[in-house]
């Protein structure tokens, strides 16, 4: 099975065990956090598998959203390191232009890359 990208958003409404969250995200081939409660994962697992991995972390009032992500259709305002992370997996289209708005790397959330 080939790797795909998924967007994961968690609204925890309470404290989350960050170590447990990181362990679950580490099950992906690679991942990046681009906002405080948003991640992109590169994975061979489907949305249902990710739901079963992350649901136990939510507590009674948290929310979870997972969807497959097409990185070839993108535009936005994100830190440069996030664009670079995305582009490393989308080198096939070398004609793609650099996003108009790129933030300084010091403004990015901590970046974690796993294999």
Closest CA to 112 of 45, 18, 48: 18
Instruction: Look at residue 114 in the predicted model and tell me its pLDDT.
Output: 56
List, for residues 4-13, the tens digit of each pLDDT value. 999 999 987 6
List, for residues 55-111, the tens digit of each pLDDT value. 998 878 789 999 999 998 889 999 999 999 999 998 744 444 444 445 444 444 555
Instruction: Look at residue 15 in the predicted model and tell me its pLDDT.
Output: 73
Phi-psi region of 33 (alpha: psi -120 to 50; beta: other; left: phi over 0): beta
Please report the domains of the chain, with CATH numbers, ordered by start residue: 4-107 (3.30.70)
Q: pTM of the prediction?
A: 0.76
């Amino acid at each position: 099975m080939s790797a795909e990208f998924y967007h994961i958003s968690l609204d925890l409404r309470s404290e989350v065990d960050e170590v447990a969250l990181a362990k679950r995200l580490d099950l992906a081939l690679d991942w990046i956090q681009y906002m405080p409660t948003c991640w992109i994962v590169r994975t061979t697992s489907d949305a249902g598998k990710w739901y079963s991995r992350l649901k136990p972390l939510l507590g009674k009032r948290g929310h979870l959203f997972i969807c497959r992500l097409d990185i070839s259709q993108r535009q936005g305002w994100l830190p440069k390191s996030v664009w670079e992370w995305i582009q490393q997996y989308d080198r096939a289209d070398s004609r793609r232009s650099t996003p108009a708005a790129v933030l300084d790397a010091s403004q990015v959330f901590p970046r974690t890359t796993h294999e």
